Every structure is written in C-alpha cells, then in structure tokens.
C-alpha cells in the first residue's frame, strides 16, 4: 500500500510560530523567558483547569483525545503547551490517519506555564547563559529550581487525573523544548518510570553552569539498565561565536554512548538549518517517528501479505510497548478491501478479514466484510455463516438481513 509522506508545510490548523533571529545575546535571553501564548483552536481539544495542592495553584491543561470510542490510547505530555500543543495534535492526527498509520492515535496533554523558570529548571540559580549573576532581586530566575516539585505534580496529580478521565493505555511520552527539554532529560535521569519515552528538543544544558550535564555524568554510571526511549536534538545554536550550547548537547550524546546503558534506545539529531525557536517543529515530528519507527509493517508485496506476518509484527510491538497490541480493525479492513478487488490477492484479503474476526469477535462489521469477500470468491456457504454471525451481533441490521436472504435464495435449486 502506498504510504503518504508528511510535509510540515501542508498541515492545516498548525499554530503560527514567530521566528526571531537577532543577535546571539538576544536569542539566548529570549529563550529563557516565558514564551508567548497563542489561542488553542476549539477543534483541537478542550481546556481543563486542574487545581494542584502540590503547587498550590490552578493549572490549565490543553487536552486532545481522538473521537470518542471504546478504544484506549497512548498519551503524550507536552510542555510549553501554549506554543507546542496545536503542533503535536496535528502531527498525531496526521501520522495516525488510516492512509498513513505511521503511529497509533494519541491523547495529547499540553501543560501550560504559570512560572516557567520555576517549574522547568532542575536547580536554583540566578546565573544567566553567560554565567553572570543577577543580584538585584529582580532576576527572572529568582524562583528557579522547581523541577522536583513539578515532577510530584505530574506523578501524583496530573497523570492520575488523565488516567481517570480518559481512556489511556500504559504507555506515555514526555516532550519538551529548551528549558522543557532540560526538564525532560532530568526526568529521564532521576524519575525514569514516570514515562516510557522522552523527546527533548534543544535542551538548555547551560543552566546553572551545566548542572544537569554534570549530574548526568555521575548518575548514568550508576544505571545498569534503563528500558526507555529518548530522542534529543539541537539547532544551529552552535553557529554563534559561543558554541557551548551545541557542544553541551554533543557531550550528553557522548555520555550516553560511553555508558552504553542496557535497554536505552536513544538517538541524537542535529538540525544546522534550524534556529533554537524553529527546531521543535521538526524535532517533535522526527521524535515521534523515532519512538514509533517499528509501528509500521515492513514493506511487503500484496501477494505475500498474510495474517501470520501481521500477527508476528504485532507480537513484536506488544513486547516493545509493554502491553498487548492487536492489529487495528479499520486499518486492516481497508487493506483487505484493496486486496479483494483483484483475483491475484483475493485470498490474501480473505485471510486478513478472517484475522479481523478472530481479533474482534464482537464486531458485526468484521463478519460482514468477511461474508462479502466469501461471496466475491464464490464461497456462498462460508458467506452465509459469516453473515449469520454478523446478524447475531447486530439483529437490527437490515443490510445483513438482505445480504443473507440473497445468498440463501441463490442456494435454492
């Protein structure tokens, strides 16, 4: 089947981003401040206010869930939601479409900011990017160092709320940019069990004289096994006269390679043509593709596809993601409908439809599709059996009754 390639500039409803490229001093000053807000579009989810006893404040959440159904979904939590929520929702919706199906549908939880420099920094510091202290009492970092309390909020209040109010699966991703990316990596190092996968776009390792980078150097040596997935990146920050931002990210990559921690599936990717403020656009897309790079079936000829190949693939996915995953009924029904159009692949299509009835035994649609395929192949008795099962599951369906009557009449001498 043909796969569609995602083109970022073709996505609809993406939030508009303002790109700033001035002097390097202004760039690094800007990126540490609270980011500007853009309105969340109504068709991309809902706004939820959750009171936090841990943080002693109300927190605004932006939450998107796929169309209501009995299905459950993996969850991605996105920091700086005022900037990145819309983007992540659009990526999720497009990449999980039936004609793309590169990732599973996701619930997207966007965490907006109240005090960004407090929540998204791992230590208290009043030092700026260049190591200069602001002792005036007006430092934007005077409340910094709230990562640990923020993690407690996520673990004890946010995640329980999401899991109680939405149909979630036991697999979640944590994504952040700049200070948000620093927070993501701090979580991986110190609270790895909070999430299964991590996406960090341009982590600000410069913070507090490389506090987290130094901590990582010590902490990673004590972790023998870490069955997590990490994608991290940076842009052209190293192109300035002071390349320490890029150098720090490369050093973290070297630390991970040196320690070679068992189970840690990680990838670093640099984007020399992207600025600090544009890099999350491509990083979040590539991060999702990395986390779910095994989701799609490997390319296979339509005449060779069968249920055994598919079920083996989903067995591998179940092992990777840690819970039972079965082939999506709608996706493989669509594939089967393509196959049964042609005599050379008709039996392959029937095999996929039989797989659907085995995986979804309470679905009248699955048995109806199988009945139609049997009819097309001239196997009328098998078609009748399939339609009878569909009718038992959906007694009110006039279409099933009609198809069954037509088949039974054709069997009469």
d(CA 22, CA 15): 22
> Under a CB-based contact definition with an 8 Å cutoff, are residues 125 and 144 in contact?
yes
Summarised one tens digit per residue, pLDDT across range 87-98 is 999 999 999 999
Same fold, 8-291 and 310-411: no
- Tokens 């909020």, residue located: 153
> What is the pTM for the complete model shown?
0.88
Concatenated DSSP letters of 139-175: -TTTT---HHHHHHHIIIIIHHHHHHHS-EEEEEEEE
Summarised one tens digit per residue, pLDDT across range 349-363 is 999 999 999 999 999
320: left (phi over 0), alpha (psi -120 to 50) or beta: alpha
pLDDT score at 409? 86
Q: Where are the domains of the chain?
A: 8-291, 310-411
According to the per-residue pLDDT averaged within each range, which of 5-14, 21-30, 68-77, 234-243 is highest?
Answer: 68-77
Q: Which fold has domain 8-291?
A: Rossmann fold (3.40.50)
For residue 198, the 8-state DSSP code is: E
Query: What CATH number is given for 310-411 in this structure?
Result: 1.25.40.10
- Split at pLDDT 50, 70, 90, the class of 40 is low
> Under a CB-based contact definition with an 8 Å cutoff, are residues 266 and 232 in contact?
yes
């Amino acid at each position: 089947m043909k796969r569609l390639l995602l083109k970022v500039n073709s996505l609809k409803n993406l939030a508009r981003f303002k790109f700033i490229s001035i002097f390097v001093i202004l760039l690094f000053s800007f990126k540490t401040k609270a980011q500007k807000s853009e309105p969340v579009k109504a068709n991309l989810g809902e706004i939820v206010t959750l009171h936090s006893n841990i943080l002693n404040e109300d927190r605004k959440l932006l939450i998107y869930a796929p169309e209501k159904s009995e299905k459950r979904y993996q969850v991605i939590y996105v920091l700086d939601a005022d900037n990145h929520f819309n983007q992540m929702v659009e990526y999720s919706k497009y990449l999980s479409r039936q004609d793309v199906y590169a990732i599973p549908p996701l619930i997207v939880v966007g965490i907006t900011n109240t005090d960004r420099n407090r929540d998204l920094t791992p230590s208290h510091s009043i030092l700026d990017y260049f190591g200069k202290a602001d002792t005036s009492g007006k430092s934007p970092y005077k409340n910094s160092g709230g990562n640990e309390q923020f993690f407690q909020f996520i673990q004890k209040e946010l995640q329980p709320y999401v899991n109680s109010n939405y149909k979630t699966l036991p697999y979640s991703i944590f994504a952040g940019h700049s200070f948000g990316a620093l927070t993501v990596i701090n979580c991986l190092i110190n609270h790895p069990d909070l999430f299964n996968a991590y996406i960090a776009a341009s982590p600000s390792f410069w913070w507090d004289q490389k506090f987290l980078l130094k901590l990582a150097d010590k902490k990673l040596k004590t972790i023998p096994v870490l069955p997590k997935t990490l994608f991290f990146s940076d842009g052209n920050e190293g192109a300035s006269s002071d390349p320490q931002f890029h150098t720090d990210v490369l050093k973290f990559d070297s630390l991970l390679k040196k320690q070679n921690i068992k189970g840690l599936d990680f990838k670093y990717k640099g984007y020399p043509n992207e600025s600090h403020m544009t890099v999350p656009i491509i990083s979040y897309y590539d991060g999702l593709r990395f986390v779910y790079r095994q989701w799609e079936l490997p390319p296979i000829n339509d005449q060779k596809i069968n249920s055994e190949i598919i079920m083996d693939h989903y067995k591998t996915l179940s092992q990777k993601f840690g819970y039972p995953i079965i082939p999506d009924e709608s996706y493989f029904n669509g594939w089967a409908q393509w196959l049964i159009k042609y005599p050379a692949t008709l039996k392959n299509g029937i095999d996929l439809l039989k797989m659907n009835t085995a995986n979804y035994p309470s679905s009248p649609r699955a048995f109806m599709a199988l009945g139609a395929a049997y009819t097309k192949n001239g196997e009328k008795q098998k078609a009748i059996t399939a339609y009878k099962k569909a009718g038992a599951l959906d007694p009110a369906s006039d279409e099933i009754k009609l198809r069954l009557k037509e088949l039974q009449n054709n069997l009469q001498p």
